[in-house]
Structure 1
């Protein structure tokens, strides 16, 4: 299991089940079901990445994303969309999210996006560059297990 902590913010049980099913075996996951719970969860859990349902009950996801950025929280946000429409995609990026996924998301694509954004956030030390290169080139499973993300 990887040590990265992911916070899933969705009030929709089917979306939560889908995301936890795909990400749970590889990452530590926690969830909130309402916009009011998000600020406290961010402070307590200090996640490495947030998956924010754009239909999160109790709040405007774009405003929540922008508030996180304005408060200096440099946590990457991947927006979770019910359907990917061009206007929604533009709104996601305008609000400060780093990426988006449309649900139901295919597990390999979701894992790749999460992994990529965690790697981009990691310090670029010679050891990390070497490990990342080995994984991208198909390094051994033992090497991949040693990866913190």
Structure 2
């Protein structure tokens, strides 16, 4: 399910601009045009993140932030305001804001702040790499295929993680060697072939459909079933 972001901004053009840009990034967006409406939506809809303008009609964004925190609502809040003095920043952060973006701002910066704050809000989700029926959890170092746990050695895990991070890309043996084993590796020249073969055996033990493919004369690729 897409994350839900509440934008509390009284400038209709700016609110629409932010809504469109967030929508293009795949977020579900609700807009409130004053502090009272924003406070009510934040309490009822329980969004994943709030972008909150400081200067709002009704009650200020600072008051909205304080009231949310005083009632135990810990939704991430990115304060959006023209107040750029250090005391203002301190006041906003002390009120419970998690981040602070000053106007005028670049939309790229705002999107980056939003993504970073959502990652911190859902840390476990960023540790998951998924491809087809294969799932790798970087935090627990567990691998599942079709929900069945696959026991891997440390180096097999590192190799599979690297392939998952570059799925559908043909990776050369040199790239694998440099990234997974390191530049100073002095072991057997066929070590990658050995580990790829071992990975295939484990990945295909309960599902014969191959995910790790050899590209002759080049290297390997993780792609859809063949």
Would you call these one fold, judging by a TM-score over 0.5?
yes
- Give the superposition deviation at 1:42: 1.6
What is the count of residue pairs matched by the alignment?
A: 134
Q: Which runs of 5+ in 2 are unaligned?
A: 130-136, 139-164, 169-226
Higher RCO (CA-CA < 8 Å; seq separation 6+) = 1
Higher helix share: 1
Higher strand share: 2
**1:15 is matched with which residue?**
14
Cα deviations by residue, 1:117-136 (Å, 9 ceiling, x for unpaired)? 00101153xx6324498xxx
1:94–1:43 CA distance, 2 compared to 1 (3 A): closer
CA RMSD of aligned residues (A): 2.4
3-state SS in 2 of match to 1:55: coil
* Equivalent residue runs for 1:11-90 within 5 Å: 11-26=10-25, 27-90=27-90
Single out whichever of 34-43 and 111-120 deviates more from structure 2: 34-43
- Give the superposition deviation at 1:140: 5.2
1:82–1:140 CA distance, 2 compared to 1 (3 A): farther
Q: Which runs of 5+ in 1 are unaligned?
A: 134-138, 143-149
TM-score (norm 2): 0.53
Q: Which has the larger radius of gyration?
A: 2
1:140–1:70 CA distance, 2 compared to 1 (3 A): farther
Cα deviations by residue, 1:24-68 (Å, 9 ceiling, x for unpaired)? 211111111111212321233220000010011111322211110
TM-score (norm 1): 0.78
